Structures are given as structure tokens and as C-alpha cells.
């Protein structure tokens, strides 16, 4: 029996839309990352981008549990000595709610060129409107929505 390997020329990529209203950040991010990687498809191949496009709307209505709003910190470094900056979840969420969701999904993808390519298929919007109506996105049913 031969192992099936997906060919990039034969992969059909769909567009999905996810409403993040009232969803827990981590649970939303894991399911979106799986869709971006293509793990929900029978043709999944780990080293080839078999995933679909995902549009997340209402990113400003995502929630976190416990005391994460105050205790979770995001760090970045300028590359210079003493150039580390930190920002709490609450401040970053108030400033850029899309960035909070993007960082959560990015952390669940591969940390290489393939993961970077898969992250470009993620489109995040703070409000309910998005400019991707021409792609006819389908609503993505998430496992966490069944709770």
C-alpha cells in the first residue's frame, strides 16, 4: 500500500467565516489553526499547505477565562540591549483586538516557512463586516460551539 501525498496543484481551498462573539480565545485559536493547516481534510499532508482560508469576524468580542486579562503578557524585543517591551492582554486587546487573536493562532501553527504561509490565509476583523463576500465563505462549525 502506498502513502498518499497531496500535490499542491490538486488542492482545493475553501473560504470559511467564523464569528468569534463570546468564544474563548484558546479554543477558537486551536480550531482555526487546524483549519488553516488542513487537518480536517482527508488529504492532509504535514509538509504541504492543504488548509483553507479563514475569516474571523467580531474579534473584539472574544473572551478569556480566569485572571488572564490582567496576568497574560505579550512581549516583543527591538533587538537592542534593554529593548524588551511588554504589554498586558487588556491593553493590547483594547488597542488591537485582531492582534490578540492573530498571536494566539500563530502560536499554534508550525514555526517555519510553512506556518508563515498558512498564517497569511487568516483574515481577522474586529467588527462584523469583512470585504471577502466575493469568495462566498461558508460558516465554519467549530467543536467548541457545541458546548
pLDDT at 142 (0 to 100) = 84
Give the residue ranges of the chain where pLDDT is below 50: none
Q: Over the stretch 90-112, which tens digit does the pLDDT of each residue have?
A: 999 999 999 999 999 999 999 99
Q: Which CATH class is domain 14-141?
A: alpha beta
Domain chopping of the chain, boundaries: 14-141
pTM for the model stands at 0.92
- Round to the nearest angstrom and report the end-to-end CA distance of the chain: 40
Grid cell digits, residue 92: 493590547
Residues 56, 93: Cα–Cα separation, whole Å: 15
Dihedral of alpha carbons 74, 40, 131, 57, sign: negative
Q: How crowded is residue 38: how many other Cβ atoms within 10 Å of its Cβ?
A: 21
Grid cell digits, residue 21: 462573539
Q: How crowded is residue 28: how many other Cβ atoms within 10 Å of its Cβ?
A: 24
Q: Over the stretch 115-125, which tens digit does the pLDDT of each residue have?
A: 999 999 999 99
Amino acid at each position: 500500500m502506498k502513502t498518499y501525498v497531496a500535490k499542491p496543484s490538486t488542492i482545493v481551498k475553501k473560504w470559511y467565516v467564523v464569528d468569534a462573539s463570546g468564544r474563548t480565545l484558546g479554543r477558537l485559536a486551536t480550531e482555526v489553526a487546524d483549519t488553516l493547516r488542513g487537518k480536517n481534510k482527508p488529504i492532509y499532508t504535514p509538509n504541504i499547505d492543504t488548509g483553507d482560508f479563514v475569516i474571523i469576524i467580531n474579534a473584539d468580542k472574544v473572551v478569556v477565562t480566569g485572571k488572564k486579562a490582567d496576568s497574560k503578557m505579550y512581549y516583543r524585543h527591538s533587538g537592542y540591549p534593554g529593548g524588551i517591551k511588554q504589554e498586558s492582554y487588556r491593553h493590547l486587546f483594547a488597542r488591537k483586538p485582531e492582534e490578540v487573536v492573530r498571536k494566539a493562532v500563530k502560536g499554534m501553527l508550525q514555526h517555519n516557512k510553512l506556518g508563515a504561509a498558512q498564517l497569511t490565509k487568516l483574515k481577522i476583523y474586529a467588527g462584523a463586516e469583512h470585504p471577502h463576500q466575493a469568495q462566498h465563505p461558508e460558516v465554519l462549525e467549530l467543536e467548541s460551539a457545541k458546548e
